[in-house]
Chains A and B, each alone.
Chain A
Amino acid sequence: MSLGGIAILNSAGRRVYDSNDVTWNQIDSFVKSRPSALGGGRSLTRNYPQLEGREFLGVQVFIDPPPLDRKALAWNFTRSGTSITISGGSERALILVLMR
Chain B
Amino acid sequence: MSFGFTATNNSGQVLVSSDTKNLHFVGKATFNRIIKSTSGYGGLVQYAFHIACNATPMPFFTMPTADRYAISAIRTVSGNVWEIELIRSGSAIDPMPEIYVFSEASGVVAPPSTNYGVVVKGSNGVTPMFDSRLGPLVVTNGFSVAPPLNPIVGAGTYSSLGALLLGSGGLDAKFCRSDASYKFAPNNANVYSIGSLNSKPIFFYPSVAQCNRTSKATREESLNLIIYSSYEYWESTYWTFYRGGISYSGTTLSCGWISCEWGCNYIYRENDRLLGIGIDNDSGTGGKWPYSNETLNLQEVPVIVGNGATYD
Q: Which residues of B contact A30 (CB under 8 A)?
A: 56
B96 at interface (Cβ–Cβ under 8 A)?
no
Cβ-defined partner of B73 (8 Å) among A6, A64, A96: A64
Interface residues of chain A: helix, strand, loop or mixed (majority): loop
A80 at interface (Cβ–Cβ under 8 A)?
no
Instruction: Evaluate contact between B206 and A22: CB separation under 8 angstroms.
Output: no
Instruction: Assess A19 versus B10: contact at CB under 8 Å? Given A59-B302, A66-B210.
Output: yes
* In the complex, chain A residues 46-67 whose Cβ is within 8 Å of any chain B Cβ: 50, 54-55, 57, 59-67
Instruction: Evaluate contact between B206 and A62: CB separation under 8 angstroms.
Output: yes
Instruction: Assess A62 versus B73: contact at CB under 8 Å? Given A17-B132, A74-B297.
Output: yes
Instruction: Evaluate contact between A17 and B15: CB separation under 8 angstroms.
Output: yes
For the side of the interface on A, what is the size category? Answer: 35 or more
* In the complex, chain B residues 113-140 whose Cβ is within 8 Å of any chain A Cβ: 114, 116-118, 132-133, 135-140
Instruction: Assess A70 versus B291: contact at CB under 8 Å? Given A25-B20, A63-B75.
Output: yes
A94 at interface (Cβ–Cβ under 8 A)?
yes
Instruction: Evaluate contact between A27 and B20: CB separation under 8 angstroms.
Output: yes
Per the bound structure, the CA–CA distance linking A69 and B243 in Å amounts to 16
Cβ-defined partner of A74 (8 Å) among B9, B20, B208: B208
Q: Which residues of A contact B20 (CB under 8 A)?
A: 25-27, 50, 99
Instruction: Evaluate contact between B133 and A73: CB separation under 8 angstroms.
Output: no
Instruction: Evaluate contact between B9 and A68: CB separation under 8 angstroms.
Output: no
**Which A residues are closer than 8 A to B by beta carbons?**
2, 5-6, 8, 10-11, 16-17, 19-27, 29-30, 50, 54-55, 57, 59-74, 76, 94, 96, 99-100
* Nearest 5 interchain pairs by C-beta: A25-B20, A11-B116, A29-B56, A74-B297, A61-B206
A-B contact pairs, 13 of them (CB 8 A): A6-B15, A8-B118, A20-B10, A22-B139, A23-B136, A23-B138, A26-B22, A29-B56, A29-B104, A59-B204, A62-B208, A66-B241, A67-B291
